[in-house]
Amino acid sequence: MDRSRSALHTVELDVGYAATVVADIGLTVEPGRICTLIGPNGAGKSTILKTVARQLAPKGGTVYIGKDELSSLKADELARTMAILTTDRSDPELITSADVVSLGRYPHTGRLGLLTDADHRAMNQAMALVGVADLAERQFSQLSDGQRQRVLFARALCQEPRVLVLDEPTSYLDIRHKLEFVRTLRRLARERSIAVLMSLHELELARYASDLVACVARGRIDRIAPPDEVFCGGYVRTLYGVDDDLFDELYPGLDGRLDRPQADDGHDERYVRSGQQRLRRGMTTGTCAALATAGATRLLLAGRAPQTVELVTPKGITVTADLEFCALEGNVATCGVRKDAGDDPDVTNGIVITARVSRTEQGITIEGGDGVGRVTKPGLDQPVGAAAINRVPRQMIEEQARAVATELGYAGGLTVTIEVSGGKELAARTFNPQLGVVGGISILGTSGIEEPMSERALIDTIEVELRQQRALGATRVVLLPGNYAEDFVRTSLPELADAPQVKFGNYLGDALDACVEQGFSEVLVVGHIGKLVKLAGGIMNTHSKVADCRMELLCAHAASCGAGQGLCSSLLQCATTDAALDLLRDASLADEVMRSLIAAMQRHLDQRTRGTLRTGVVVFSNKHGHLGETPAARTMLQARA
């Protein structure tokens, strides 16, 4: 075993008192990871923790802290490395909660044991993190058991340990504080690279909080595995010797009897089911930039970076990433995160996204460096001249920088510069140059999560949804490309509120084929001009990797409606259809060009469906609103009004 990456490691460890209680223990806990001991009462969980904490001598074997044997560490060295929170209770009198927390600082003070301003800041941070700042001046002996437990947790954090040993840390806490405890523990373990070894009786919390679960039973570690591999197949019932229907009522879904991990039930937020496939989600470039920012900000302000970083994306999914590298040079801290795009990744999968953070007087400024493109055409998310880092990623980056600064008590400003290794070369393989983004890639994403794209699986899903609607008796259906169209229907076409709706993504042709096969009599397509303008050219897969002839089609129809060479040249230079519509409106040609385009869309719909059903199309723009519809679509809408 390479111990260079582990903070805590045991080799053939035997623990006990007069006799051995648990034998041949082999545990490894890496920085930033949480390992939880579970098992029946009396199995030996506390005995393991006391031995690891050097409160009991081992019966055999060795405990390592990093590369050092535990037995070789002096008391002060161990105190600076490991913090302990046990169920043992003391009742000191005439001592405040702040005094108790301050005990965590003494391993870091000099011989005189005097607390500095930095020590007091660390105390205040720790108390604020666990929600006991309001108890600072209360007598510790007058606190409830739950309040005392949180104060002692603050003391352990104040010690700034590399290893944290916790024996049933949630025992005295109410449900609210249990949840806050495990949430705080997960975040701090990752941000501060703390290796956590703890025991828990609350199995739901163990499943949520842990990276590894070690199951103690019958004098040994019976199983060590990630939570999904422990809480499945009826194993927990066997571990605790329980076979009772009440278990399922009290812990629904905790220990499924199927011989497969819980994640396979489709509810694991790391995965999405698409058709018959289960695909792994990934991180957007914006999420990677925000994670790198969190690491670099902590390195700059605290002098050390965590091995891993974590955030909650706008989609509500928590993501964690290792830092590829960190460097602190003068007033600039740099951290990098490698992008994992999940299944069916795009061209940016595997690139390293770097954040360089430096101090400024006030505010948080976000810039784009090497490998990040610049906006050169109007109509995009950012103004001309700005770095191509869209609004949501900018918010995520700023939130991470601000959160770390607030936690560490820094009130000054920060400049964050995002860089992408090889971004300029990658951009040549995208449509960025055509959109007017030059010099690198765009930092995009609205949810923070890269949804996996499997073409066959997505088409299967569309077909299944249409089949289900037909089985429910629907003969008419509304086809939508995605969320923009869904929002437009909800706000602008109330007559379609009760109509069956199916999203086709980019696969309009396949959706139409399925409608014909299932025997629908009427299909209404509602979509944004940026998608449906391609339909005017007979393009039934609207993904940009298949074709991006939006401006060419707009230009051709504008020319047929009388647009001159100058206007046509300007249209071809537009980055977005909204920008092109602005030019057409200025030339009083927008309505005529839209009628020409919509008529072409209708022709291609009829050709694809071969006259077997009635079709219509409604086109809109987020900026310009409703742009028009075909006569058939107008008839369909009037029939529903």
* Dihedral pair phi/psi, residue 37, rounded to 5°: -90, 130
Using alpha carbons, list the distances in angstroms from residue 267 to 209, 253, 456.
17, 11, 22
* Dihedral pair phi/psi, residue 488, rounded to 5°: -65, -45
pLDDT per residue as tens digits for the range 109-135: 876 778 888 889 889 888 888 888 889
Given the DSSP bridges, would you call strands 34-38 and 195-199 parallel, antiparallel or unpaired? parallel
Q: What DSSP string runs through 317-345? A: -EEEEE-SEEEEETTEEEEEEE----SS-
- Residue among 268, 152, 163 nearest 207 (CA): 268
Q: What is the 3-state secondary structure (H, E, C) of 547-614?
A: CCCHHHHHHHHHHHCCCCHHHHHHHHCCCCHHHHHHHHHHCCCHHHHHHHHHHHHHHHHHHHHCCCCE
- Residue among 41, 83, 89 nearest 197 (CA): 83
Q: Which residues contact 173 (CB under 8 A, 6 or more apart)?
A: 146, 149, 150, 181
Between 229 and 475, where is the model more confident?
475
Same domain, yes or no, for 35 and 182?
Answer: yes
Q: What is the mean pLDDT of residues 484-501?
A: 91
Same domain, yes or no, for 253 and 335?
Answer: no
Same domain, yes or no, for 52 and 186?
Answer: yes
| pLDDT at site 434 | 65
With tokens 């997960």, the residue in question is 186
| pLDDT at site 65 | 92
| pLDDT at site 179 | 84
- Kindly tell me if the per-residue pLDDT of 212 is higher than 80: yes
Same domain, yes or no, for 417 and 340?
Answer: yes
State how far the Cα of 507 lies from the Cα of 502, in Å rounded to an integer.
12
275 found inside a domain: no
**Strand locations in 374-499 (E):** 374-375, 413-420, 437-438, 440-441, 449-450, 476-480
Same domain, yes or no, for 477 and 617?
Answer: yes
Q: What is the mean pLDDT of residues 590-619?
A: 95
333 found inside a domain: yes
**What dihedral do alpha carbons 10, 12, 16, 22 form, nearest 10°?**
100
Using alpha carbons, list the distances in angstroms from residue 52 to 201, 212, 267, 370.
19, 17, 36, 47
Q: What is the mean pLDDT of residues 600-625?
A: 94
Q: Which domain holds residue 501?
A: 455-640
Q: What DSSP string runs through 184-206? A: HHHHHHHHTT-EEEEE-S-HHHH
What distance lies between CA 204 and its chain's CA centroid?
Answer: 21
| pLDDT at site 269 | 59
pLDDT per residue as tens digits for the range 387-423: 999 988 999 999 999 999 998 999 999 999 999 989 9
144 found inside a domain: yes
Q: What is the mean pLDDT of residues 212-236?
A: 88
CATH number for the domain spanning 96: value is 3.40.50.300
| pLDDT at site 436 | 79
- Kindly tell me if the per-residue pLDDT of 268 is higher than 70: no
Final residue of a domain: which of 423, 450, 477? 450
Same domain, yes or no, for 35 and 90?
Answer: yes
* Dihedral pair phi/psi, residue 76, rounded to 5°: -70, -35
What integer best gives the mean pLDDT of the chain?
A: 87
Final residue of a domain: which of 433, 450, 467? 450
Same domain, yes or no, for 199 and 258?
Answer: no
| pLDDT at site 346 | 67
Between 117 and 358, where is the model more confident?
358
pLDDT per residue as tens digits for the range 416-471: 999 998 999 888 877 677 667 899 999 977 777 766 655 665 777 788 788 878 88
Same domain, yes or no, for 393 and 524?
Answer: no
CATH number for the domain spanning 290: value is 3.30.2110.10
State how far the Cα of 47 lies from the Cα of 28, in Å rounded to an integer.
17
Q: Which residues contact 578 (CB under 8 A, 6 or more apart)?
A: 379, 529, 530, 621, 622, 623, 624
Same domain, yes or no, for 99 and 170?
Answer: yes
Q: What percent of the chain has pLDDT over 90?
A: 52
Q: Which residues contact 584 (CB under 8 A, 6 or more apart)?
A: 554, 558, 563, 567, 571, 590, 593
Q: Which residues contact 109 (CB under 8 A, 6 or more apart)?
A: 115, 116, 119
Same domain, yes or no, for 308 and 340?
Answer: yes
- Kindly tell me if the per-residue pLDDT of 336 is higher than 80: yes
545 found inside a domain: yes
Final residue of a domain: which of 405, 427, 450? 450
203 found inside a domain: yes
Q: What percent of the chain has pLDDT over 70?
A: 90
| pLDDT at site 266 | 41
The first and second tokens of residue 570, run together, are 């300007």
274 found inside a domain: no
* Residue 450 one-letter amino acid: E
Domains: count for the chain = 4
* Residue 470 one-letter amino acid: R
Same domain, yes or no, for 289 and 330?
Answer: yes
345 found inside a domain: yes
pLDDT per residue as tens digits for the range 360-370: 999 999 999 99
276 found inside a domain: no
Same domain, yes or no, for 510 and 624?
Answer: yes
- Kindly tell me if the per-residue pLDDT of 91 is higher than 70: no
